[in-house]
Amino acid sequence: MGILNEHTRTNELETLMQPLLAGHDMGLLSEAGCPAIADPGSNLVRLAHHKQIKIIPLTGPSSILLALMASGLNGQRFCFHGYLPIDRNARTQTITALEKQSGKQDQTQIFIETPYRNQNLFELLVKTCRDDTDLCLAMQLTSVEERVTTRSIKQWKSKQPDFQKIPTIFLLHANR
């Protein structure tokens, strides 16, 4: 049994697969979320496909889909972007483009951030987005402290969340 995380090098994947290649069944688990969906694992799954190993996905919670389900935002058209750029100028440009795309395509934009940078991202969203754009913060999903709140940017301006260092999914939807 091995550990696969963001520090696992590509050349280590073969070693992780040794029990599988020896004929044993294996599973890919995630401590929170869903393997290979905004979580490490896709490279290992891709390698298994190259080796013609059967992959059987099992149902389980994906924090991204749970956030979308609980947000009240458009679940028919959505796009997950992972992490936004760290550079403030590039991040501002990305937020502006995502908001524009959301309004034009009636599409919910979903992204994540490292918990210690949540507040900075939130403040930039509130500063950059139009007042009538909706923003959902889905925090600590599947835990007893779970909170999912959707408000307009204007409403968020008067009610700042306390979510520093709390795992959060951000969902943005621009009203037409």
**pLDDT band, residue 38 (cuts 50/70/90):** confident
Q: What is the pLDDT of residue 150?
A: 97
Q: Which of 151, 119, 154, 114 is nearest to 136 (CA)?
A: 151
Per-residue pLDDT reduced to its tens digit, 109-152: 999 999 999 999 999 999 999 999 999 999 999 889 999 999 99
State the Cα–Cα distance between residues 93 and 97, nearest whole angstrom: 6
Q: Give the strand pairing for 108-112 and 168-173.
A: antiparallel
Per-residue pLDDT reduced to its tens digit, 81-120: 999 999 999 999 999 999 999 999 999 999 999 999 999 9
Among 3.30.950.10, 3.40.50.970, 1.20.1250.20, 3.10.310.30, what is the CATH number of 63-173? 3.30.950.10
For 22-35, the three-class secondary structure string (H helix, E strand, C coil) is CCCCCCCCCCCCEC
What pTM was computed for the model?
0.83
Q: Does residue 60 have a pLDDT over 80? A: no
Residue range(s) of every CATH 3.30.950.10 domain in the chain: 63-173
